[in-house]
Amino acid sequence: MGFGLIKVIGKQMQFMQLNELMLKKYDDHYVKLKLIFERTIDLIDAYHPDEIAIEAPFFGKNVQSMLKLGRAQGVAMAAGLSREIPITEYSPKKIKMAITGNGNASKEQVARMLQSNLKLKSLPENLDSTDGLAAAVCHFYNAGRVESGKSYSGWASFVKKNPNKIK
């Protein structure tokens, strides 16, 4: 389980931390779920986040893997909800689009863009932690922007319908 923390001051985002919970050494799935819940609570209690962003479940061919992933996401969400922290889910494509401009970007492309934008000195060997950070950064980029199904025929149409968003 990868996670990333950012701090938002005004309209500026600052990198705080990225890491991952190493669960491969545990065979028991229920022990893994317990560790995810406890680590998420520990992070919440240490950093007191205002919001949590999480990658939404995605569809894959292996039903058992999807079930295990959904359970893991569920216990992480339960940890946040137990502390009354709002949770927002983003699809993997939306996260990739927010970070790189390409919804089909690779993990490596997302990691490099995060490294560039947040001025990270290095990247971790395993990119699960950058996935967690990408969800946080996506949430920052989307803060206050609830999509209501509006569509625009081009930039001129967008500008005409959203004059308050143009500087």
pLDDT score at 148? 41
Percent helix / strand / coil, the chain, rounded to 5: 50, 15, 35
SS3 for 13-82 is: EEEEEEEECCCCCCCCHHHHHHHHHHHHHHHHHHHCCCCEEEECCCCCCCHHHHHHHHHHHHHHHHHHHH
pLDDT score at 84? 93
Q: What is the reported pTM?
A: 0.81
Asked if 36 contacts 21 with a C-beta cutoff of 8 angstroms, the reply is: yes
CATH topology of domain 2-165: Nucleotidyltransferase; domain 5 (3.30.420)
Amino acid at 162: N
Nearest by Cα to 5 from 165, 116, 133, 157: 133
Q: Using N-to-C axis directions, what is the helix angle for 107-118 and 92-100, rounded to 10°?
A: 50
Q: How many Cα atoms sit within 13 Å of 151 on the Cβ side? A: 1
Q: Which two tokens stand for residue 147?
A: 């999509």
Q: What is the pLDDT along the chain (167 residues), one digit of tens a residue?
A: 889 999 999 889 999 999 999 998 999 999 999 999 999 999 999 999 999 999 987 766 788 878 888 899 999 999 999 999 999 999 999 999 999 999 999 999 999 999 999 999 998 888 888 999 999 999 999 985 544 445 555 666 666 776 766 66
